[in-house]
Structure formats: structure tokens, C-alpha cells
A and B are shown apart, each in its own frame.
Chain A
Amino acid sequence: MKYLLVALIALMLINCSPEEIFSDHARHDYWLLHEGAKLPIIVEGNTNSMIFLILLHGGPGGSAQEFNASSKAFTDNLENDYALVYYDQRNSGLARGEWDEEKLTIEQHIEDLDKVLELLKHKYGADIKLFLAGHSWGSYLATAYLFDATQQSKVNSFININGAIHRNLRNAHNLKTINEIADEQIPISSNADAWSNLKNDVQEEIDKNIEIYDAKTESIPNTLKSKASDLILSDNLLDQNLNGIGASIYNDNYDPFLMLSNERKGTLIEQMYLFDNTVETSLQNLNLPVLCIYGKYDVTTSLYQGIYLQDNISTIEADKKIVILEKSGHSTMKNEPILLAEEIKEWIENYK
């Protein structure tokens, strides 16, 4: 009985001890209440490093927990050296709050992101170093955030992982990449006929000379993209390194049903088309170091989106780099997680 009492008191003391804010293996959970949204922010990893890598999830409508859910080989690798920040955007993932279509705008997402960065500085000190990384739509959001010079000055570098940069050009870029993959696969693939048919369909779409797509007409390139993705999988062109999704469900509250049942995009896709003009005129505002990482077989946001970004920003050549992962598609963290993490580490070490 005496020992039980001592053990219970010890347990209570352990549970009551304040969590170290700076540690090699920190795990801090925050909620940020801003403009009707309740945004979950998880800081995980080495906060002693004073380097914070913010991972912006894709979608729109995804969840930052996808990174953990898809590949701990990617996230754990980086968490050993840096603090990773998983933040679910408004009306996405584990975020809660009001449903307000008027606040589901690119501008509001930019404001939310700025508040997240400010909160990190508020908690961990003004001298922490922030690296902004985005995947797919996350990169689009990061790029838009960096157009403003004051906001850009808060960030050491931008790491663009399979990012969408220009919504309209994305369609042409994807079709171009599908054509190139088809040319490679037709002589060697057991799906040669399917690749040939797809190439013909892609050529037909290109021949229409559609200069401006919109949220409705992009359905044709999107369908071709889906067909290409199926053939890429069938031809075993991708590496797959998935960890057990169970670990993410129980440790990180990843909700597979949420992703299946709720599309929280609102009008964001339409807004992205309208925002293309801003992208064209504002990309030159970017002058910070930019790393672009794309999967060779990414037909959702093709490598040409990264090239477009690199060609139109003002960053000096020495501070720009494009990495192509040879056995990856759109989800490089699932396909080649360790290579991806190593590339990011090397980049951060150069620009920290």
C-alpha cells in the first residue's frame, strides 16, 4: 500500500511537471483562435535547434497530419534535427470553427499563416529561424504569402514540394509531362496501347489551344491526369514507403473518414484562377532562397510548375535549386521519403 502511494505521488508529479519548451524531442500542441477558425498547430521535434519547418498541407482541404500519416520516414528524419510545425488550415483537417464561405479566401489563408508564424515567435522567441515548406496547394499558399516583402522577411527560405504555382498553366504543364512519360513508356511498357491512346487524347486536348481554363473546363486535363496516374502505378514507376496508417490514427488523430467524406475547398479553385494575374505580376517579389522538389512522375503538379517558379522569381541563381526525385509522383513523401528529407536537410543547413 505504501509503495502504491509513493508510485501514485511520483506519477502525479511527473504529470504535473511543466513541459520543456526547448528539447530534442518536443511535442507541443496549440490551438489558435482567429477570425472564427480554431486552428490546431502541432510542434514536434527538436526545438533546441531553434529551426522551425512549417509544413503546409495540400488540398485545398487536406490535413497536415497527412505528412505523419503518409510517411514517418520523412517526418521523423527531419524531427531529429528541427522542429516541424503541422498546422491544419481553416476548414481543413482537424481545424474547427465556423463555416464562413466569405472567409474561405486565399487572402484569409495568408493572414492565418502569418498569425501562425507570429504565434511561433511569441512562444519560442523572435530569434527562431522559420523555413516555410508547402506541398501542392500548400506551396501555392506559401508562394502567395511570400509576395509581401514584410512577410517574406520573416522566413529564411521557401521549400516547394510538388507545388502548384500557376493554376491555369498547371493544366498545360501536366499535359506536357504526361506526353513525355508516354513517349518513354510506349516502347517498354506492357501498357503500351493504353499509353498510346492516352498520348492521342492528350494531343487532342493540346490541339484545342485552350489558353484559359477554369474550374469547370479543367475537368478534361484532370481526367487525363487520373488516367496517367493509373498507368504510372500499373507500370510500377513509383517507390512506395508507407508507414502503418494505424500509428497516425492513434498517435496523431489522423482521420481517414474526414478526408473521404468532406471536400472543404469551397470556391478556392475558382479563386486560384482569378489569382493567376497576381501570381504573374508578383512572383518577381520573391528574392529569398527557394528549393523546388518534384517527382519525375508528378502529373498533378508537374515539374514545369517548379521551373516556372524558378524562372520568374528574383532570387539569385546560387540560391535556387530544383531537385527531381526519379521514383516519385505527386506524393514524394510517400514515394522517396528519406531522399526528400535529406535534400531538405542539406538545404536548411546551407540557409539556416
Chain B
Amino acid sequence: MKDSIVMFLLFFSMNFVYCQDISKKDFKNIGINYFGELGLRPGIEIDFGFPLKIKENKKDNKKKYLSHFIYLRPTLAYFHYPHNSNNFQLGFKFNYQFKTVNTFTNRYLNFEPYLKIAYLRKSFIGEIYETVNEDFIEKNNAGTNSYTLGLGLDFGGYLNQRIDWLFGVEYFSEFTSDQLILHRFLAKLGIRIKLNNV
């Protein structure tokens, strides 16, 4: 099950990375943000934004116009439970971005709901022992695998020609091998680096 999920994610990552319409390359970006469960459990997320669809409602002589983007964002996140586990999450986000652009200053604000599907590996921290007959053997590593479904909301805007700011919240359900559905709430704060000056 774990292998098939990883294969699925890799296959679609490769497809989406290399099969982009070249005319949309200008809107590609890299996001780097703090990714803290319940706000303060520390973590970091890196994602890549690939525009799948762009629609700009640009009209002459208007101060502001609205753009719509659909982004695919492959994402890799890490978050830490003190003394308990290191958690690695690999997956995709589908972001619908509304962008209000000021024609005169070229400044903008983003409002971006998204859906997320991912694979989560929980790697245990601490000494790990397994019972074998009447004895214990120490193991170097152990953990659990699960998949997650989530949704979130990002806000962002122009910081400078190269960087946008980002603030967001995310919820995801973690479906574990022991049939638990765990609820995770996260806060995000970070930047998006535009790969081209747009």
C-alpha cells in the first residue's frame, strides 16, 4: 500500500513538472513556509506552484482587475512532535487563487483556498524495542504510514519583485493504519519566491 501511494505521487509529480504549458512558466513559484501544528509544534513546508489555468479579467482604464489561477502545488512538509516523532508529508495541493491586481502599482493580494492529498510518514523518536519470544531487540527505526486529506486557505501578496508573503491555515485528516482518523490543524507563515519577475 505504501509503495503504491509513493509510486502514484512520483508518477503524477513527474507528469505535472515536465508537462507544463510553456506559456504559463512565468507564474511558477516556490513556497517556503513555517508549518506548525496547533500553531506552535514546529514544522516547515516547501511547495512548488505550477499554473494549470489562468484567467485575467483585465479591462482598460480600470484601477484593479481580478485574475483567477488554478495551481497544482506538489508539497513536502516536515513537522515535529517533541520526544515522539518526526513527520514527513509528501503530496499535492490544488489551489484556486483569486488575485486582485492594482494596475498602477502592480501590487496584488491573493486569496487561495485549496485541497490537499498526501502521504504521511511518522518516524518515531526514542529507543525502539520489539518483543521477540521472551526477549527484546532494539531497532534503529520504526514508524507508521498514513494518508491525509485536507483543505486550507492561504492569503498572500506582493512583497517585492521576487518575493510574495504568505499566511495560511490548514486542516487535514490523517487516516492511520489502526483506523484512526486524526484531526490536524496547522498555521502557516512564509514566502513565495517567483521564479520569474512577473
Q: Does A122 contact B (CB under 8 A)?
A: yes
Q: Are the C-beta atoms of B126 and A96 separated by less than 8 Å?
A: no
Q: Are the C-beta atoms of B126 and A28 separated by less than 8 Å?
A: yes
Q: Does A268 contact B (CB under 8 A)?
A: no
Interface of B toward A, CB cutoff 8 Å: 38, 40-41, 81-84, 122, 124-131, 136, 139, 142, 144, 176-183, 185
Residue of B nearest to A251 (CB): B82
Q: Are the C-beta atoms of B139 and A253 separated by less than 8 Å?
A: no
Q: Are the C-beta atoms of A38 and B181 separated by less than 8 Å?
A: no
Candidates B38, B122, B128, B180; contact of A30 at CB < 8 Å = B128
Interface hit among A70-78, A145-153, A168-176, A255-263: A255-263
User: With A258-B182, A262-B181 in contact, is A33–B126 under 8 Å at CB?
Assistant: no
* Residues on the A chain within 8 Å of B41, using CB: 249-250
Select the residue from B129, B144, B181 with max chain A CB neighbours within 10 A.
B129
Residue of B nearest to A97 (CB): B178
* Residues on the B chain within 8 Å of A255, using CB: 182
Closest Cβ–Cβ distance, residue A103 to chain B (whole Å)? 11
Within A74-115, the residues touching B (CB, 8 Å) are 91, 94, 96-99, 115
User: With A122-B136, A251-B82 in contact, is A115–B131 under 8 Å at CB?
Assistant: yes
Select the residue from A29, A42, A123, A257 with max chain B CB neighbours within 10 A.
A29
Q: Does A351 contact B (CB under 8 A)?
A: no
CA of A29 to CA of B128, assembled, Å: 9
Q: Are the C-beta atoms of B84 and A253 separated by less than 8 Å?
A: yes
CA of A63 to CA of B139, assembled, Å: 24
Q: Are the C-beta atoms of A33 and B142 separated by less than 8 Å?
A: yes
CA of A66 to CA of B82, assembled, Å: 16
Q: Does A58 contact B (CB under 8 A)?
A: no
Mask, A15-36, CB within 8 Å of B = 1, is 0000000000001111111110
Q: Are the C-beta atoms of A31 and B183 separated by less than 8 Å?
A: no
Candidates A32, A249, A253; contact of B83 at CB < 8 Å = A253
6 contacts between A and B (CB under 8 A): A94-B84, A96-B144, A249-B41, A250-B41, A250-B82, A258-B180
User: With A29-B84, A98-B178 in contact, is A250–B127 under 8 Å at CB?
Assistant: no
CA of A122 to CA of B131, assembled, Å: 12
Q: Are the C-beta atoms of B176 and A31 separated by less than 8 Å?
A: no
User: With A249-B38, A253-B81, A261-B183 in contact, is A91–B178 under 8 Å at CB?
Assistant: yes
Q: Are the C-beta atoms of A32 and B129 separated by less than 8 Å?
A: yes
CA of A16 to CA of B95, assembled, Å: 42
Candidates B83, B131, B139, B183; contact of A34 at CB < 8 Å = B131
Q: Are the C-beta atoms of B126 and A29 separated by less than 8 Å?
A: yes
* Residues on the A chain within 8 Å of B126, using CB: 28-31, 40
* Residues on the A chain within 8 Å of B124, using CB: 31, 38
Q: Are the C-beta atoms of B131 and A33 separated by less than 8 Å?
A: yes
CA of A85 to CA of B8, assembled, Å: 42
Q: Are the C-beta atoms of B127 and A28 separated by less than 8 Å?
A: yes
Residue of A nearest to B173 (CB): A261
Q: Does A119 contact B (CB under 8 A)?
A: yes
Q: Are the C-beta atoms of A119 and B136 separated by less than 8 Å?
A: yes
User: With A250-B41, A257-B183 in contact, is A32–B131 under 8 Å at CB?
Assistant: yes
